[in-house]
Structure 1
């Protein structure tokens, strides 16, 4: 496999269990941050350009050239940064974090500026297209129990929408925006009418929502929780009744029988393949797995790493999966050892890993 040839989409093995051979062409970005990595986002206009936010108060922009990672730029917040995303034209990088500030970095000029604020930490943000005119906006979700829509040309938000509780996760695809808050609330928003909640529901999972990812059709989404479970949900009630389901993942059995006790880990991150519509989950167990939603089975399981995986992200064509090996705070401050790495690994995907197939 190669990042720069047709080999990146060839099958390396037919097995559903990955081996070291499946990872031999991975590119490692050592010392990608000085503290825990919180988010990774690829440019929608470039296959190998991505931004990384971290608890060291910085956002870094990396580029892969000739199989080597090169730092392109960085900008800072006053406190830990929790999220980052690129504008649709790839010219700007937005970020938010514990200083309650929304920053915008212009890739061409190298300048960053504050474009908005919340009254508490900003946990997630997305660039979206609103209304029948598809106006590009930046939507930010905060622990202040609101989301805000920003026109980058104006200092005040276009709209502020009150939510039931603190925002823990958020994603968008097409006209669908889904927000997961504390107390397992799920708010579904139709971006044709972004100022209102289209539908409110509770997560079907019994424990706190950790991650959300919308599917490419814009009619469904996946939810991951702290209890090692994932749920597939549809906006339409009839589709949900017919096609919705949940399953266990990111668990390690402690015995030789199915009834044995299992160690249960949070599902930290979910990402949908931008072309094939399959998806990947990553967890505090240090594993990531590719899944086929339509046929309800796992496509490929990758070996357990020695460290937690807080975030995964596909590039625009789905030919590369980036994942971080970094502390995810699921054991609190006592679990954050000094020898914990802050590494990003870029894995070139093969069709055997991410292409939907029947059992």
Structure 2
């Protein structure tokens, strides 16, 4: 699968897309052969590979892989199936393997060269998140589940290296060595330090009043992880530093809300995903309102809003060099069963984004 010659990854991505219909109001590049059900996970390949690959997990039980060319064209490469909806995906640091977490209570490792899968982790309930940890003295897979446990796996062994009990079901997690953050049901927030041996660092009172939906770690100018952004179902994001220099460093902002509902009310939508730009340190949020927005947290300003898609945006991701922003448009069930329209297709769009995410110039 990885025998193709490397692409020029230094150039800018894409020129112009073709589809300009209501399904693609931003005129972005459409990924060919998208999933048949809602997209639950998106991840670009790491910088260790010369080409750009995109993987997507879906509620159709499948994980798909595409090669993304500099022109914006996507080539479907392969697909793997599990026994339940996929809830998360991640890459190994060398780009040779993809891990797939499913409602079937398992995590499988997909070896891309051989196109074979093998089970590497197991929980007593659906596995909500999986993250690969590359530490100086160990490598492992971190999985978190609705069985209220966090597990760390040496993927060569059937038993976990370490199991940590969580206060509640895991709803979201992120890893940026040496830090991990886990958000649970009942608005639990726990920070872990991963050096030497993973262990709890501290529990944090949630700055948000409603259920957590997504979390993403951010770095300082020296590229060290120092805090995280947390999104909730109530159209709000909290920026939290692990050790704030000043209490005012932590703040929350509203997003994914629409004005102009009858009676002056506001429609409020869930923040479905958050991603930080790998070069600029700015961020993207995507929501149930069918929009994405780019933000500069340091200037506390919105850099760019999007047009409204015909369905919710469920997931987003940046390519490792920050040239491409991927976002998935599919029904997220926020409005319940009666609003589900099986005639509406799922889409993954790719957008050249490097310029749009440059931080606001400070005077």
Fold equivalence (TM over 0.5): yes
Per the TM alignment, residue 21 of structure 1 is displaced from its structure 2 partner at its CA by: 12
Residue of structure 1 in register with 2:133 after alignment: 128
Is 2:127–2:144's contact at 8 Å kept on the other side of the alignment?
yes
Residues 1-359 of structure 1 mapped to structure 2, 5 A cutoff: 6-8=11-13, 23-24=26-27, 26-44=28-46, 45-46=48-49, 48-65=52-69, 66-130=71-135, 133-192=136-195, 194-216=197-219, 217-236=224-243, 238-239=244-245, 241-254=247-260, 260-358=264-362
Question: 2: distance between equivalents of 1:194 and 1:226?
Answer: 33
SS of equivalent to 1:183: helix
Secondary structure in 2 aligned to 1:242? Answer: helix
Greater mean deviation of Cα atoms: 259-268 or 144-153 = 259-268
Structure ranking higher on relative contact order (CA contacts 8 Å, 6+ apart)? 1
Task: Provide the rounded CA distance (Å) in 2 between the counterparts of 1:262 and 1:229.
Answer: 13
Report the Cα offset of residue 9 of structure 1.
Answer: 10
- Give how far 1:341 is off: 1.6
Moved more, 40-49 or 174-183: 40-49
Give structure 1 stretches of 5+ with no counterpart. Answer: 11-19
Q: How far, CA to CA, are the matches of 2:72 and 2:137 in structure 1?
A: 37
Shift of 1:149: 0.5
Q: Using the alignment, how far apart are the partners of 1:357 and 1:163 within structure 2?
A: 42
Q: Residues of 1 paired with 2:25 and 2:10: CA distance? A: 16
Q: Partners in 2 of 1:52 and 1:9 — Cα distance?
A: 20
Residues in 2 aligned to 1:269 and 1:294: alpha-carbon distance in whole angstroms: 19
State the partner residue of 2:4: none
Residues 285 and 307, structure 1, Cα contact 8 Å, conserved in 2: yes
Tell me, in whole angstroms, the C-alpha distance in 2 between the residues paired with 1:194 and 1:345: 39
- For residue 64 of structure 1, report the CA deviation from its aligned partner: 1.9
Q: How many pairs are equivalent?
A: 342
Displacement of 1:152 in angstroms is 1.4
TM-score, length basis structure 1? 0.90
How far apart are the structure 1 equivalents of 2:166 and 2:24?
46
Q: CA deviation at 1:164?
A: 0.7
Contact 2:168 2:186 in 1 (8 A): yes
Deviation at 1:272, TM superposition (A): 0.4
Distance 1:164 1:149 in 2: 17
Q: TM-score, normalised by structure 2?
A: 0.89
Q: Distance in 1 between matches of 2:9 and 2:146?
A: 41
CA contact (8 A) 2:72 2:350 kept: no
Counterpart secondary structure, 1:334: helix
- Measured in 1, the distance between the counterparts of 2:42 and 2:137 equals 25
Q: Tell which deviates more after alignment, 295-304 or 331-340.
A: 331-340
In the alignment, structure 2 segments of 5+ residues that lack a partner are: 1-7, 16-22
Q: Return closer, same or farther for 1:96/1:241 CA change in 2, 3 Å cut-off.
A: same
Tell me if the contact between 1:214 and 1:221 (Cα under 8 Å) persists in the aligned partners: yes
Alpha-carbon deviation of 1:71?
1.1
Q: What does residue 13 of structure 1 align with?
A: none
